[in-house]
């Protein structure tokens, strides 16, 4: 469908270990469409989220999780 970017927010760390790693912890993925394939970038804890769609975004993964819970 050509969606340039989408996010997966796994605040409960329910994703599989192959997907979110070990130890399992809350994770945000920013998936960017590059050459007709999605490239995902993982953000956790105090990692500053980088988004091509929202370049001025200044949030960490933890700030997003704190606002959800």
Q: What is the pLDDT of residues 25-35, one digit of tens each?
A: 889 999 999 99
Cβ 10 vs Cβ 26: under 8 Å: yes
Residue-level pLDDT at 15: 77
Answer whether the bond into residue 28 is a cis peptide, omega within 30°.
Answer: no
pLDDT at 69: 57
Whether pLDDT at 42 is above 60: yes
Q: Quick one: pLDDT band at residue 67, thresholds 50, 70, 90?
A: confident
* Domain edges within the chain: 5-68
Give the residue from 47, 28, 37, 27 showing the smallest Cα distance to 3: 37
User: What is the structure's pLDDT at 5?
Assistant: 97
DSSP helix/strand/coil, 66: helix
């Amino acid at each position: 469908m050509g969606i340039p970017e989408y996010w997966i927010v796994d605040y409960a760390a329910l994703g599989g270990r192959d997907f979110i790693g070990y130890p399992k912890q809350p994770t945000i993925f920013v998936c960017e469409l590059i050459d007709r394939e999605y490239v995902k970038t993982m953000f956790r804890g105090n990692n500053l989220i980088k988004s091509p769609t929202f370049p001025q975004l200044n949030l960490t993964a933890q700030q997003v999780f704190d606002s959800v819970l």
